[in-house]
Amino acid sequence: MTDARLRHGRASLALSFFVQGVTFALLVTRIPAIQDRYGISDGLLPVFLAAVPILAGVGSVLTEKVVARVRPRVVLRWAQPVVLLALLGVGAGSEVWEAAVALGAFGLAVGALDASMNMMGVSLQRAYGRSIMLGFHATYSLGGITGASMAWAGAHWDLSLLVSYLPVVVVLLPVALAGSRWYVEGSRGEEQGERSAGGGKGASVSFRLLMPLCLVMCFAYIGDSTVSNWSAKYLQDVLGSSEQLSTVPYNVYMVTTLLGRAVGDFGVRRFGAVAVVRAGTVLAAAGFGVVAVAGGAWTGMLGFTMLGLGLCVIVPQTFAAAGRMFPGASDTAIARLNIFNYVGFLVGSPLVGALGDAWSYRGAMLVPMVLVLATLVYAKSFGTEPARYGGGHERPRTADVG
């Protein structure tokens, strides 16, 4: 595979991560507007919100079966347009059943999209012989910031969902389809060779071996959903900030997530994945601790900043570790691991809310702190032998691929 082809493949996959970040942010940040448009009651809204990650988990499971017959790039090429069109469908409908159909399609397609994107990211990292996964997730964070900014503009100017979503889909859909022409991934022939050379280790996925990474993925998304769902309420109700200031922590969290992921690959190459994950875990746990004991809004924002810098490295490295652990069946491992992304998302927000109501929101912040700290117990799972890519932290190569 030529260096130019790898660079084109890396750029096109990064574009897909960016488009997905924009799309997902446009959906989740306009949930109140979606509720108002369709007249969804407060009692029914949690059902709709829970259905999306549940169906995404189903989509990830189905992707595992599909990629046994076709390449992940084929799944990604068609899943991304479906996600964009489903977003447009959410903005275009008027009846509750139309919202249910559009959100159902969004959930199934986003599960396939997340799984196939990360399959390809792991495959490209293997082809490069060095850490590049954090860079892909950095473009996702950049897309999330972009999408959230668009959503703010739509809400500020009181634009309808259709008017907000249509220009985005009109621009991004052809861009995503055009970019998909340059998707590349490691050959299955190479993976088959690794199966044989590994004595069958990679031929199937042991759930017992994968479970530590599944737990880490779940705990990381519990932490992430805590920030996305409760940071504004916590700052305003617990730390006494203004309504305007309470919107800042999530934006700060997203920006620090972008910055951390933008430089994270350099840390992995220099110090190894285990050290980076441990450092991120300690920083994230310390961030939750600062939030829990904060005496004012600015101290709370410092805690959320630490959270962004710490949590941002864990998820990309968890996918990468699964690919290293099962080199001959990385697609299967990643599809199964991806399910726990949605488990954490489902559990995180209700868990913190229930603990906050029954106990205190300060105390509730200690629970995701403890769960994130559990990553330290499983940190060795990120350092399987292939993680070093040969001597040092990188595999020797004759040409730099960008």
Contacts of 401 (CB under 8 A, 6+ apart): 3, 6, 7, 127, 128
Whether residue 202 is predicted with pLDDT greater than 50 in this model: the reply is: no
Specify the residue for token string 């968890």.
318
Q: What residues contact residue 354 under an 8 Å CB cut-off, 6+ apart?
A: none
Whether the Cβ atoms of residue 59 and residue 109 lie closer than 8 Å to each other: yes
pLDDT of residue 242: 86
Written as one string, the DSSP assignment of 93-113 is --SHHHHHHHHHHHHHHHHHH
pLDDT at 384: 53
Q: Mean of the pLDDT values across residues 232-239?
A: 90
pLDDT at 399: 32
CA nearest 87: which of 102, 108, 109, 97?
Answer: 102
Average pLDDT, the chain: 89
Neighbours of 135 (CB within 10 A): 21
Is residue 79 a contact partner of residue 109, using CB atoms and an 8 Å limit?
yes
pLDDT in tens, 283-327: 999 999 999 999 999 999 999 999 999 999 999 999 999 999 998
The Cα 131–Cα 337 span in angstroms is: 19
187 pLDDT band, cuts 50/70/90, is low
CATH entry, 207-386, from 1.20.1260.10, 3.40.50.1240, 1.20.1250.20, 1.20.1300.10: 1.20.1250.20
> Topology of 3-177 in CATH?
Growth Hormone; Chain: A; (1.20.1250)
Q: Do 269 and 294 touch, CB atoms closer than 8 A?
A: no
Tens digits of residue pLDDT in 2-19: 788 999 999 999 999 999
- % of the chain with per-residue pLDDT over 90: 73
Q: Which residues contact 260 (CB under 8 A, 6 or more apart)?
A: 280, 308, 309, 310, 312, 313
Q: Which of 48, 106, 100, 101 is nearest to 81 (CA)?
A: 106
- For the chain, give every residue range classified as CATH 1.20.1250.20: 3-177, 207-386
Q: What is the pLDDT of residue 166?
A: 97
User: Residue 130 — left, alpha, or beta (φ > 0 → left; ψ -120 to 50 → alpha)?
Assistant: beta
Model pTM?
Answer: 0.89
Closest Cα partner for 148 from 235, 255, 297?
255
As a whole number of angstroms, the distance between CA 199 and CA 209 comes to 16
CA distance 267 to 276: 7
Rounded distance between C-alpha atoms, residue 320 and residue 307, angstroms: 21
Neighbours of 2 (CB within 10 A): 10
Sign of CA dihedral 314, 318, 222, 101: positive
CB 402 within 8 A of CB 6: yes
**What are the angstrom distances between the C-alpha of 132 and each of 173, 207, 244, 313, 385?**
25, 26, 37, 12, 18
Per-residue pLDDT at 373: 96
Does the CA dihedral 111-115-117-118 come out positive or negative? positive
Q: Choose from 128-142, 145-159, 383-397 the range with maximum mean pLDDT.
A: 128-142
